[in-house]
A = this chain, B = another copy of it.
Amino acid sequence: MRVVVPFAAEQPKTRLGDFFTLTERREFSGAMLTDVLAAIRESGHEPELLATAPVERDVPTTVDERPLTAAMNAVLEADSSIAVVMTDLPLATPAALTELFDISEDVVLAPGRGGGTNALVARHPDFRVDYHGTSYLDHREGARRIGASVGTVDSFRLATDIDERADLAEVLVHGEGAARAWLDRAGVRLVRNDGRVGVERTGNG
């Protein structure tokens, strides 16, 4: 089974734009990619990239400038057994990915917080993705429409995509890889808020 990692090479993590410069967002995004590629490899699979622009990585890469949904569906049209793992999952573990890959349903979804789909496996020729809106519900509905069976993976680590400032706290609490190291170097630290923990930046790293 091919394991495809979509990668926004040029304008990654726009919702972190208030907290990091574009250069920093590219670096941080690259560190998260390093973590995700390592977890996929440790799960026994060889990842490939679906990137919006050429990237310098020792990974088979397809460049497709189109938005994620269109680019990913072109891959799904060409091959009916595909896993998709998002880049912004620096907490992904080989164990959680193995569970995702091993559930033998036509469509397997790893939900993200806020209704997203952070990783999936598609083994049905008619399944297509739609990453706009509440993609988790849309993917379930899409699978139902084509008569595909659906499984889900219950994983906090796969559910934790890093999009917003508050999400960085999860990397500092649970991360041990390149993304965590990058945040440490950038001077990003945990800080207690009213409820859940947040982050602040204590220096220029």
Cβ-defined contact, B154 with A113, below 8 A:
no
Work out how many copies of this chain go into the complex: 2
Cβ-defined contact, A113 with B170, below 8 A:
yes
- Closest residue of chain B to A192, judged by CB? B133
Q: Which of A77-118 contact B (CB under 8 A)?
A: 93, 95-96, 111, 113-116
Q: Is A166 in contact with chain B by the CB < 8 A criterion?
A: yes
Give the number of residues in A that approach B within 8 Å (Cβ atoms).
Answer: 34
Chain B residues, Cβ within 8 Å of A156: 111, 154-156, 158-159
Cβ-defined contact, A190 with B115, below 8 A:
yes
Q: Which of A172-205 contact B (CB under 8 A)?
A: 173-174, 190, 192, 194-198
Smallest CB separation, A22 vs chain B (Å) = 19
Cβ-defined contact, B15 with A173, below 8 A:
no
Chain B residues, Cβ within 8 Å of A160: 113
Please measure, in the bound complex, the distance between the C-alpha atom of A95 and the C-alpha atom of B111, giving whole angstroms.
17
Cβ-defined contact, A111 with B173, below 8 A:
yes
Smallest CB separation, A95 vs chain B (Å) = 7
Chain B residues, Cβ within 8 Å of A15: 194-195
Chain B residues, Cβ within 8 Å of A96: 154
Chain A residues in the interface with B (C-beta under 8 A): 15, 93, 95-96, 111, 113-116, 133-134, 136-137, 154-160, 163-164, 166, 169-170, 173-174, 190, 192, 194-198
